[in-house]
Chains A and B, each alone.
Chain A
Amino acid sequence: MSEWFSQYNYIVVIILMMTGLYTVFASRNLIKKLAGLSVFQTSVFLLYITIGKVSGAQPPILLEDKTYGKDKDGHALLDGPVQVAAGDASYILPGPGSDVLYSNPLPHVLILTAIVVGVATLSIGLALTVRIREVYHTIEEDEIEAADFVYNLEGTAD
């Protein structure tokens, strides 16, 4: 049972994923289906990001291997290594045998790409819904199917 509490992030992912999928399948309204799809994709983003975090680790910005500066007495101004973004100092690099543990930045990059893909899909879906509304004057799936069924039987478009 304690496993469930320590891995609550995966449980949240599963709950979101199933909620999203159920909304896609069970909704009759086209916009609600797209909303469910978005929730489903968001759960995947959460899955990727949670695996990037290493427990007890620094954010993935390289730490410089020196203290910040010294005051006039020669005492260090700040204790411990500090994060600096750039410069030609030496850095503590990640990897086995390193003193510092970094979180993994790669899942964040992957998720930015996946978010863009999700945004593109959502925009195309919404554009299609607008067009469907223009043509069918409804965005309920069963009414659209009924309209197409009548369309077929009368043979006007076949």
Chain B
Amino acid sequence: MSFLDYAPDWMLTHGPAFLMALPLIMAAVTSILPNKRIAWGATFIVTAILTLTAFTIAIYNAEVGTTIYKMGGWAPPHGISLVIDALSAPLVVLIAIMSLITVFYALPATVAEIKPNKRAPFYAAFLLCIAGLLGMVVTGDAFNVFVFLEVSSISTYVLVAMGAARDRRALSAAYNYLILGSIGATFFVIGIGFLFMETGTLNMADMARILADTDGGSRVAKVAFGFIVIGLGLKLAMFPLHTWLPGAYAYAPTPVTAFLASTATKAALYLLLRFTFFVFDPSYAYVADVLMFILVGLGVVGMIFASLQAIFQTDARRMLAFSSVAQVGYMLLGIGIATTASVAAGYLHLLNHAIIKGGLFLALGAMWYRFGITRTEDFKGLGQTMPWTMGAFTISGLSLIGVPFTAGFVSKVNLTFAAADAGWWWAVGIIMLTSILALIYIGRVLLAAYFQSPPEINGEVVAKNEAPLTMLLPMWALAIASIYIGFESDVLVDAATRAAELLLGAG
């Protein structure tokens, strides 16, 4: 491929380590940068470099196959290995692109939402979050996963708390998220401890081999799997463990919400895929039971209940947050059916939902920026007062519902076909039902925006006041991506299928 000829050699050999190291180092540098604009500029340049590196690594992976990078030259299983394979490459690209888009959007948003002396540390925390997420996705060592999971989580608690300048409820939301997130991460590390007891190694590929040799391991491995599923379930907002999510999404600064909604839960879901199918295997009886009863059961319950809860929210950000919990239920349903087609559909929905939710939260943030809108009833007449912003929101909203020729439709169709192929007709019915519920809560907002006139304040109708260009460009980039994927979905569907084949074929 000609693109790879232009890539420098060090990017192809040391790419994964570079992805982890650059934002970590630049976070320390950014926190002491004097001027707010310079801090933003440094963050923007870092995310641009990360996006280029991510694309290079993904294209290289598509050509060459799985690459294992030995950190420090120490060979696994004693050393830490960074693995770029069909499962992690699309996520690396997703995290890098979403970080670039959100940082670009953040320039006017942070001016409105964060105090001037806190802006450089804000960008530093943002870079730490990016470093943590990228590290989580590329590493091949189980304890290293925990370390980067906590790096990203702790910086997320800080980022959410920075919304306190806008709404003081961000503080208790961040505290609640800290308590629950730490419990989840500690459950995860207990699971890793039990896996270490069972296998004697921390390298995920080695663990997979040893567990396969002993055909699932003893009760220690079963306990380990239970702890890992619950710990990761809390991080990815599986239904009863999702209570931190609405508060964190609603009161965080708007670029943070958009970034978290599109990357944090997705990275945790990637880890669930990695542990369920690569380290453990669905052929072990206890894994199959958990997949069937816990992942599918809680996923389906989450889909229905969270969609119902979204309908009854008055705050637009909380509505979209509950909608995120419901969409995570879709992905868990796809994982739980555990066929190649369904895991591919769940993975595809992971990627699509990141684009959709990112676009929705960016549009919502622009509405707050101009008019201070947070409630769904304040959407009256936005089609006339903020036409471009509402246009992006509409496209992403229709994609969330699953209207044909949008990204959401592609992933829902794939999931429905996969469920039907497996004979799970009740799952097909539930997917249709939750799409109708999504139609209700998104449609209500769209109706208010387009078919009601703008509100009158002191007898005068509110004038048109469009969002700034630096906010419009990112949200329209994501909206156009939604439509493009709706028409030309082959690249993503192929990537998802390759990821599923890697998981279900070998591991």
Asked if B112 is an interface residue, CB under 8 A from chain A, the answer is: no
B171 touches A158 (CB 8 A): no
Q: Give Cα A136–Cα B164 distance, bound, in whole angstroms.
A: 12
Q: Nearest B residue to A122 by beta-carbon distance?
A: B182
The stretch among A55-63, A68-76, A93-101, A124-132 that forms the contact with chain B is A124-132
Q: Give Cα A136–Cα B183 distance, bound, in whole angstroms.
A: 25
CB distance from A45 to the nearest CB of B (A): 10
CB distance from A92 to the nearest CB of B (A): 19
B171 touches A44 (CB 8 A): no
Given contacts A113-B143, A117-B150, whether A131 and B164 have CB atoms under 8 Å apart is: yes
Q: Give Cα A157–Cα B169 distance, bound, in whole angstroms.
A: 9
B189 touches A114 (CB 8 A): yes
Q: Give Cα A33–Cα B270 distance, bound, in whole angstroms.
A: 30
- Interface-central residue, B161, B185, B189, B314, by most chain A CB under 10 Å: B189
Asked if B305 is an interface residue, CB under 8 A from chain A, the answer is: no
Given contacts A41-B182, A44-B190, A47-B193, whether A131 and B171 have CB atoms under 8 Å apart is: yes
Asked if B45 is an interface residue, CB under 8 A from chain A, the answer is: no
Q: Give Cα A131–Cα B178 distance, bound, in whole angstroms.
A: 14
Q: Give Cα A148–Cα B176 distance, bound, in whole angstroms.
A: 14
Asked if B388 is an interface residue, CB under 8 A from chain A, the answer is: no
Q: Give Cα A117–Cα B152 distance, bound, in whole angstroms.
A: 11
Given contacts A124-B158, A158-B375, whether A48 and B179 have CB atoms under 8 Å apart is: no
Taken residue by residue from 168 to 204, chain B's Cβ proximity to chain A (1 for < 8 Å, 0 otherwise) reads as: 1101101100110011011001100100110000100
B175 touches A30 (CB 8 A): yes
Taken residue by residue from 100 to 138, chain A's Cβ proximity to chain B (1 for < 8 Å, 0 otherwise) reads as: 000000110010011001001100110011011001100
- Interface-central residue, B146, B157, B179, B182, by most chain A CB under 10 Å: B182
How many chain B residues sit at the interface, stated as a range, is: 20 to 34
B154 touches A121 (CB 8 A): yes
Asked if B289 is an interface residue, CB under 8 A from chain A, the answer is: no
Name A37's contact: one of B147, B179, B190 (CB within 8 Å).
B179
Given contacts A113-B147, A151-B169, whether A128 and B157 have CB atoms under 8 Å apart is: yes
Q: How many residues of A contact B (CB 8 A)?
A: 34
Q: Nearest A residue to B168 by beta-carbon distance?
A: A135
B375 touches A40 (CB 8 A): no
Q: Give Cα A156–Cα B169 distance, bound, in whole angstroms.
A: 12
CB distance from B468 to the nearest CB of A (A): 24
B186 touches A41 (CB 8 A): yes
Given contacts A131-B161, A132-B171, A158-B375, whether A121 and B150 have CB atoms under 8 Å apart is: yes
- Interface-central residue, B143, B186, B190, by most chain A CB under 10 Å: B186
CB distance from A37 to the nearest CB of B (A): 6
A124 touches B186 (CB 8 A): no
Asked if B167 is an interface residue, CB under 8 A from chain A, the answer is: yes
Which residues of chain A are within 8 angstroms of B453 by Cβ–Cβ distance? none
B147 touches A51 (CB 8 A): no
Which residues of chain A are within 8 angstroms of B182 by Cβ–Cβ distance? 37, 41, 121
- Interface-central residue, A41, A114, A128, by most chain B CB under 10 Å: A128
Which residues of chain B are within 8 angstroms of A48 by Cβ–Cβ distance? 193, 196
Asked if B501 is an interface residue, CB under 8 A from chain A, the answer is: no
Given contacts A51-B196, A158-B375, whether A144 and B172 have CB atoms under 8 Å apart is: yes
Which residues of chain B are within 8 angstroms of A125 by Cβ–Cβ distance? 175, 178-179
Q: Please count the residue pairs between chain A and chain B whose beta carbons lie under 8 angstroms apart in the complex.
A: 82
Name B186's contact: one of A33, A40, A113, A151 (CB within 8 Å).
A40
Q: Nearest B residue to A24 by beta-carbon distance?
A: B179
CB distance from B115 to the nearest CB of A (A): 13
CB distance from B4 to the nearest CB of A (A): 36
Given contacts A40-B183, A44-B186, whether A117 and B147 have CB atoms under 8 Å apart is: yes
Which residues of chain A are within 8 angstroms of B375 by Cβ–Cβ distance? 158
Which residues of chain A are within 8 angstroms of B193 by Cβ–Cβ distance? 44, 47-48, 51
CB distance from A40 to the nearest CB of B (A): 6
B190 touches A124 (CB 8 A): no
CB distance from A22 to the nearest CB of B (A): 12
Q: Give Cα A148–Cα B251 distance, bound, in whole angstroms.
A: 13
Which residues of chain A are within 8 angstroms of B169 by Cβ–Cβ distance? 148, 151, 157
Given contacts A128-B174, A158-B374, whether A120 and B164 have CB atoms under 8 Å apart is: no
- Interface-central residue, A40, A47, A124, A144, by most chain B CB under 10 Å: A124
Q: Nearest A residue to B172 by beta-carbon distance?
A: A144
Asked if B315 is an interface residue, CB under 8 A from chain A, the answer is: yes
Q: Nearest A residue to B167 by beta-carbon distance?
A: A157
Q: Give Cα A16–Cα B476 distance, bound, in whole angstroms.
A: 51
Which residues of chain B are within 8 angstroms of A135 by Cβ–Cβ distance? 164, 168, 171
Q: Nearest B residue to A13 by beta-carbon distance?
A: B190
Which residues of chain B are within 8 angstroms of A132 by Cβ–Cβ distance? 171-172, 175
B197 touches A51 (CB 8 A): yes
Q: Give Cα A97–Cα B147 distance, bound, in whole angstroms.
A: 34
CB distance from B178 to the nearest CB of A (A): 5
Which residues of chain A are within 8 angstroms of B175 by Cβ–Cβ distance? 30, 125, 128-129, 132
Which residues of chain B are within 8 angstroms of A40 by Cβ–Cβ distance? 183, 186
CB distance from B312 to the nearest CB of A (A): 15
Q: Nearest A residue to B181 by beta-carbon distance?
A: A121
Q: Give Cα A50–Cα B17 distance, bound, in whole angstroms.
A: 33
Given contacts A48-B193, A51-B196, A132-B171, whether A124 and B179 have CB atoms under 8 Å apart is: no
Which residues of chain B are within 8 angstroms of A106 by Cβ–Cβ distance? 196, 202
Q: Nearest A residue to B192 by beta-carbon distance?
A: A110
A33 touches B147 (CB 8 A): no
Chosen A-B contacts, 18 in total, with CB atoms closer than 8 Å, are A21-B183, A24-B179, A34-B179, A37-B183, A44-B193, A47-B190, A47-B193, A51-B193, A51-B197, A106-B196, A117-B147, A120-B154, A121-B178, A125-B175, A132-B171, A135-B171, A157-B167, A157-B169
Told that A24-B183, A47-B193, A124-B178 touch, could you supply 14 new A-B pairs with CB distance under 8 A?
A33-B179, A37-B183, A41-B186, A44-B193, A47-B190, A51-B193, A51-B196, A114-B146, A120-B154, A121-B182, A125-B178, A131-B161, A131-B164, A132-B171
* Chain B interface (Cβ < 8 Å from any Cβ of A): 143, 146-147, 150, 154, 157-158, 161, 164, 167-169, 171-172, 174-175, 178-179, 182-183, 185-186, 189-190, 193, 196-197, 202, 314-315, 374-375
